[in-house]
């Protein structure tokens, strides 16, 4: 667009804004118009209250709860494709860009794995623009890249190259992202398949110069292992961010959750004693029952619990009688013939929820005497 065209466009926008201001001024001087606007605003407010209205009542005591035991999460498929990475909402926001770059490099199935790598590289709340820490792979000092999109472009391409160099040995490709391409050659010369022992040996051999363990924190696991080059636990850290997907539910019913129950419980119980708030979905406002579930689980990357209790009921899977376990959600009908109250089951007849008494532990059996019990349901994605 030429400078003239730009000026014309700006002029047109100015005329439109000026006309809009005049129309608004005339309308606001008319008392009938103001009355109509007031009624409209009142109707909108009432509709909002009706939409968020969820009845949560019942006076329960706070029973003691045992400590909860979570399980380490693993990728869904044997080839490390698919699954779901439990990453922060900030890292998750980069998924479209990462997926597109993965598609361009022929590795779209590894999108979730790349999200996990991204969070491990820069943390759940990145303070740097080089979110995939791709600078060093280009022979540059750390954090030289100042554009997240460029970091993703390079980082995804580098992982694709190392995945091909590793011959499909995904753990090797993952650790090579941390150690550098030379690690592939080292593994090929020492049996040809990635092992944790080889990762440890490689790090020890390269823990010299700026990577020496001398003078480092003696309590750090790297220093104690004499392996300060790279991160010897890199692969484990990546895989711990994964959960199985829907097809693994049959195994979950045997006693495994797709997330760390302790982690969610710790997040949720920090709000004990806060008041109940219709439509509340954040610590800033407090919570209603579904809002407490949604916010807490979203902190570990599980986004399938958006919406109200009925939506959460529909986005989970029924647990057979007697197979409930800590971490399952529990539902009741209260004021309407549909799921309208939800809480987190924590074992021993107890569940954590937000009701009229505020955020508290309640008794499953007591609630089931007062309201229609809809059962336990499990999060599968």
For residue 153, what pLDDT band results from cuts at 50, 70 and 90? very high
| CA–CA gap between residue 240 and residue 263 (Å, rounded) | 13
Other Cβ atoms within 10 Å of 263 Cβ, number: 15
Name every residue whose Cβ is closer than 8 Å to that of residue 339 and which is 6 or more positions away in sequence: 309, 310, 312, 313, 331, 332, 333, 374
Higher pLDDT, 64 or 119: 119
pLDDT greater than 80 at residue 352: yes
Least reliable range by pLDDT among 103-107, 292-296, 377-381: 377-381
Q: pLDDT, tens digit, for every residue of 262-287?
A: 889 889 988 988 999 999 999 999 99
Least reliable range by pLDDT among 66-75, 211-220, 223-232, 237-246: 66-75
* CA within 13 Å, CB half, 193: 0
Residues forming beta bridges with residue 242, ordered by sequence position: 85
| CA–CA gap between residue 281 and residue 283 (Å, rounded) | 7
The pLDDT value given to residue 20: 54
For residue 354, what pLDDT band results from cuts at 50, 70 and 90? very high
Residues forming beta bridges with residue 376, ordered by sequence position: 330
Higher pLDDT, 70 or 374: 374
The pLDDT value given to residue 68: 27
Greatest pairwise CA separation for the chain in angstroms: 86
pLDDT greater than 60 at residue 10: no
Q: pLDDT, tens digit, for every residue of 46-75?
A: 665 554 443 333 333 333 323 222 233 444
The pLDDT value given to residue 173: 95
Q: pLDDT, tens digit, for every residue of 140-151?
A: 998 999 999 999
pLDDT greater than 90 at residue 104: yes
Q: Give the predicted TM-score (pTM) of the model.
A: 0.49
pLDDT greater than 60 at residue 6: no
Least reliable range by pLDDT among 37-41, 232-236, 300-304, 357-361: 37-41
The pLDDT value given to residue 337: 85
**Whole-number average pLDDT of the chain:** 80
pLDDT greater than 90 at residue 310: yes
Give me the phi and psi of 350, to 5 degrees please.
Answer: -115, 145
For residue 8, what pLDDT band results from cuts at 50, 70 and 90? very low
pLDDT greater than 50 at residue 248: no
pLDDT greater than 90 at residue 373: yes
Higher pLDDT, 256 or 229: 229
Q: At what angle do helices 170-179 and 196-205 cross, to 10 degrees?
A: 20
pLDDT greater than 90 at residue 228: yes
Going from the N-terminus, what domains does the chain have, and what CATH number goes with each?
3-52 (no CATH), 84-243 (1.10.530.10), 255-378 (3.90.1720.10)
The pLDDT value given to residue 144: 93
Higher pLDDT, 256 or 198: 198
């Amino acid at each position: 667009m030429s400078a003239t065209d730009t000026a014309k466009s700006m002029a047109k926008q100015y005329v439109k804004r000026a006309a809009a201001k005049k129309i608004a001024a005339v309308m606001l001087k008319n008392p009938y118009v103001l009355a109509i606007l007031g009624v409209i605003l009142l109707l909108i407010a009432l509709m909002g209250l009706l939409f968020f209205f969820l009845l949560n009542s019942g006076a329960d005591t706070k029973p003691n709860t045992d400590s909860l035991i979570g399980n380490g999460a693993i990728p869904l498929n044997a080839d490390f494709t698919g699954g779901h990475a439990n990453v922060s909402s900030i890292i998750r926001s980069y998924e479209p860009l990462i997926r597109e770059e993965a598609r361009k490099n022929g590795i779209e199935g590894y999108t979730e794995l790349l999200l996990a790598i991204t969070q491990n590289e820069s943390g759940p709340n990145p303070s740097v623009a080089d979110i995939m820490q791709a600078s060093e792979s280009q022979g540059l000092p750390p954090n030289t890249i100042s554009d997240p999109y460029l970091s993703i472009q390079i980082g995804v391409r580098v992982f694709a190259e190392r995945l091909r160099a590793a011959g499909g040995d995904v753990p090797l490709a993952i650790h090579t992202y941390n150690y550098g391409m030379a690690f592939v050659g080292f593994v090929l010369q020492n049996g040809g398949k990635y092992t944790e022992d080889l990762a440890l040996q490689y790090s020890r051999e390269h823990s010299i110069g700026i990577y020496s363990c001398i003078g480092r924190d003696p309590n750090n696991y790297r220093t104690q292992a004499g392996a300060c080059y790279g991160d010897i636990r890199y692969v484990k850290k990546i895989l711990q961010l994964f959960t199985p997907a829907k097809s693994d539910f049959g195994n979950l019913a045997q006693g495994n959750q797709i997330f760390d129950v302790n982690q969610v419980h710790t997040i949720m119980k920090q709000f004990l004693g806060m008041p109940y708030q219709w439509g509340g979905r954040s610590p800033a406002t407090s919570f209603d029952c579904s809002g407490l579930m949604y916010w807490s689980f979203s902190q570990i990357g599980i986004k399938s619990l958006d919406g109200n209790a009925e939506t959460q009921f529909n986005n989970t899977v029924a647990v057979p009688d007697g197979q409930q376990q800590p971490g399952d959600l529990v539902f009741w009908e209260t004021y309407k013939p549909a799921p309208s109250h939800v809480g987190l089951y924590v074992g021993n007849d107890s569940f954590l929820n937000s009701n009229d008494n505020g955020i508290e532990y309640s008794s499953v059996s007591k609630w089931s005497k007062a309201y229609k019990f809809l059962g336990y349901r499990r999060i599968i994605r």
